[in-house]
Amino acid sequence: MVFNLLSNRGEAELASIRCCLLRAAASSWSQRAQHSRLQKQERSAELRRPSFDCNGPYNTAMTNREVFTHTDPDLLSVLEELRRREPIFHIPEFGATRADFEKATAPGYWEASASGRRYSREFILRTLDEHPPVDAASAGWQSYDHALRRLGPDTYLLTYTLRQIERLTRRATIWQLTPEGWRILYHQGTIVSVEEDDAFPASWLQFPPWRQKE
């Protein structure tokens, strides 16, 4: 009887100790979880703040649409001339045959597509032979936000936005003026998923690519 009482008392004390340990563990887990949430909130707030020094060279009005569409006044005539030639390969007035496209592209021409794939000049010429390009105007394509920058004495960067019905892309073409006329050195297209400038994608707020470990 005495042994049973002592045994029961020992079990009660052990149960009490286990209960205390469980409460302590739960409290510790709750504190860690709260600390983790606060850290995430702090990181999120930090990402939303401008990362540039307000007194530094990057303190520019990047949210101004004119930044992306600015063209120096002395280049407006060149802009108009090149604007009429875009989108490349889809303006019959400036090329409809392989000979036309060969003349319009530099020997070292290549392009990066909206998918990220790179295409050589020979691949492009062969594809245009096998699948004649559509007329942009007849297809209802629209281009806007044209801008031009001079890269060299006879070399220019033309940028614009192209809407192909439901597909929207940012376009960039490097043009060079030669004695034989205009020719293309490089072209690139980038798909627009959200028409929003100067804002990080929402996913970056949780997983900033520059903070991810290798």
**SS3 assignment for the chain:** CHHHHHHHHHHHHHHHHHHHHHHHHHHHHHHHHHHHHHHHHHHHHHHHCCCCCCCCCCCCCCCCCHHHHCCCHHHHHHHHHHHCCCCCCCCHHHCCCHHHHHHHEEEEEEEECCCCCEEEHHHHHHHHHHCCCCCHHHHCCEEEEEEEEEEECCEEEEEEEEEECCEEEEEEEEEEEECCEEEEEEEEEEECCCCCCCCCCHHHHHCCHHHCCC
The pLDDT assigned to 54 comes to 33
In a domain, 204, yes or no: no
Are residue 43 and residue 141 in the same domain, yes or no? no
In a domain, 155, yes or no: yes
Are residue 96 and residue 178 in the same domain, yes or no? yes
Q: Is residue 51's pLDDT more than 50?
A: no
Residue 168, domain extent? 66-191
The pLDDT assigned to 39 comes to 54
Are residue 185 and residue 101 in the same domain, yes or no? yes
Q: Is residue 86's pLDDT more than 50?
A: yes
The pLDDT assigned to 26 comes to 56
Residue 100 sits in a domain whose CATH number is 3.10.450.50
The pLDDT assigned to 28 comes to 59
Q: What is the per-residue pLDDT across 162-209, written as a single tens digit (0 to 9) for each?
A: 999 999 999 999 999 999 999 999 999 999 987 778 777 777 777 777
Are residue 79 and residue 148 in the same domain, yes or no? yes
In terms of pLDDT, which residue wins out, 14 or 85? Answer: 85
